[in-house]
């Protein structure tokens, strides 16, 4: 059985598609899976044990290049093409593949598919479980308990930045709790106010004795510097990392706090407890909502008060302290291990 999976971008959306790959391999162990995405997807899918082949497209491609890729896909004679992107480009690639079953949610591009899945209207659920509905409609009965287990392989070599960082700050080894905060987002409307992040970091450092690390990506360092300048307590800026190194760094803290962004999905992938802050985004769609991964929903980001975040963290504290105790007893996490399904919701 040959299967084409289409999720063109962004990094978080590609990461949220990885449970689909694992479920397909579980249900059809001998199937061959080809993934199609933007080049950025290789940051996640390289070394993925559930991908057999991989194609990328260029955003600046000519029509001739687009047609050439479609022809290459067509030669593979796919049995299924699952389009999880459902935009004009992905729909044309699905159609161009001429897969026997071309499956997607119903949309204005319905004519590109021969197997359409109705949307659920106002019913909100974790987006991975929504993707599983597409599989189920085609006869693949994905286990919803596996939806929280995102796949992001990382290895011992990826721990180099976190090893150096901890070596430079020995207190990180003795602190009762390591907390990573990711206060950035490319869209301002999805950012919690930076002064509240600074106040939260001060509270956690002062009252919980936490070692606070600020995570950042390309073009975000100046924003982190500005937040750190607002803090009255000592906090620490994470080292510059690659995407896999970010996973290794996140895997070696006890709590992630951040906006609905790529690093929040990395926390889920590593099994690190997380608290996500959502305003215009639907928390139920983007957070697993279980004992380990929780969220706060506001009508807007500015409506989320510091007191409500502290109260949510207080409710999570017993679980977090137990997690930290286990982390200290186990030592440095040096490679990717598939997290077990969550038991409580």
- How does DSSP assign 272-330, residue by residue? --EEEEESSS-HHHHS--SSSEEEEE-SSGGGS-HHHHHHHHHHHHHHHHHHHHHHHHH
Q: How many CB atoms lie within 10 A of CB 121?
A: 6
Per-residue pLDDT at 124: 77
Co-location of 174 and 115 in the same domain: no
Predicted confidence band at 337 (pLDDT cuts at 50, 70, 90)?
confident
Per-residue pLDDT at 157: 95
Domain boundary among 146, 178, 195: 146
Reduced to 3 states (helix: H, G, I; strand: E, B; else coil), residue 262 is helix
Closest C-alpha to 85, from 60, 113, 105, 62:
105
The verdict on residue 31 lying in a domain is: yes
User: Is a pLDDT exceeding 60 seen at residue 339?
Assistant: no
Per-residue pLDDT at 315: 98
Find where tokens 């607002």 sit. 230
CATH of the domain at 12: 3.40.50.2000
Considering its fold, how many domains does the chain have in total?
A: 2
Predicted confidence band at 320 (pLDDT cuts at 50, 70, 90)?
very high
The verdict on residue 127 lying in a domain is: yes
- Rounded to whole angstroms, the Cα distance separating 312 from 77 reads 51
* pLDDT tens figures, 142-174: 999 999 999 999 999 999 999 999 999 988 988
* pLDDT tens figures, 250-308: 999 999 999 999 999 999 999 999 999 999 999 999 999 999 999 999 999 999 999 99
- On whether the pTM is more than 0.85, the answer is yes
Co-location of 297 and 277 in the same domain: yes
Q: What is the mean pLDDT of residues 242-249?
A: 96
Co-location of 102 and 204 in the same domain: no
Co-location of 196 and 133 in the same domain: no
Domain boundary among 146, 172, 190: 146
Co-location of 166 and 119 in the same domain: no
Range of the domain at 77: 2-146
What spatial distance separates the first Cα and last Cα of the chain, rounded to whole Å? 35
Domain boundary among 127, 146, 165: 146
Mean pLDDT of the chain: 94
Co-location of 180 and 61 in the same domain: no
Per the CB < 8 A criterion, the answer to whether 38 and 9 are in contact is: yes
Co-location of 61 and 189 in the same domain: no
Co-location of 215 and 102 in the same domain: no
Predicted confidence band at 122 (pLDDT cuts at 50, 70, 90)?
low
Cis omega (within 30 of 0) for bond into 281: no
């Amino acid at each position: 059985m040959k299967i084409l999976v289409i999720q063109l971008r962004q990094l978080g959306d590609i990461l949220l598609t990885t449970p689909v790959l694992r479920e397909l391999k579980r249900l059809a162990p001998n199937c061959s899976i080809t993934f199609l995405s933007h080049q950025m997807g290789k940051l996640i899918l390289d070394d993925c044990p559930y991908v057999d082949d991989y194609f990328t497209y260029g955003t600046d491609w000519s029509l001739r290049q687009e047609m050439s890729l479609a022809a290459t896909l067509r030669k593979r004679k796919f049995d299924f093409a699952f389009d999880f992107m459902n935009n004009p480009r992905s729909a044309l690639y699905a159609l161009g593949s001429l897969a026997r079953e071309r499956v997607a949610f119903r949309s204005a591009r319905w004519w590109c598919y021969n197997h359409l899945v109705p949307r659920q209207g106002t019913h909100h659920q974790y987006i991975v479980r929504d993707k599983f509905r597409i599989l189920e409609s085609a006869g693949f009965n994905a286990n919803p308990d596996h939806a929280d287990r995102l796949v992001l392989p990382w290895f011992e070599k990826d721990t180099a930045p976190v090893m150096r960082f901890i070596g430079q700050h020995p207190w990180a080894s003795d602190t009762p709790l390591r907390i990573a905060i990711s206060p950035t987002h490319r869209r301002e409307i999805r950012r919690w106010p930076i002064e509240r992040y600074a106040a939260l970091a001060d509270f956690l450092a002062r009252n919980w004795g936490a070692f606070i690390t600020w995570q950042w990506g390309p073009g975000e360092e100046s924003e982190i510097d500005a937040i750190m300048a607002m803090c009255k307590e000592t906090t620490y800026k994470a080292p510059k990392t690659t995407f896999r190194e970010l996973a290794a760094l996140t895997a070696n803290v006890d709590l992630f706090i951040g906006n609905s962004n790529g690093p929040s999905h990395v926390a889920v992938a590593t099994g690190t407890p997380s608290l996500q802050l959502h305003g215009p985004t639907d928390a139920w769609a983007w957070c697993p909502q279980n004992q380990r991964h929780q969220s706060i929903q506001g009508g807007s980001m500015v409506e989320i008060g510091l007191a409500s975040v502290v109260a949510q963290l207080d409710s999570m504290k017993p679980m977090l302290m137990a997690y930290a105790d286990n982390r200290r007893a186990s030592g440095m996490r040096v490679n990717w291990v598939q997290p077990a399904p969550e038991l409580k919701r």
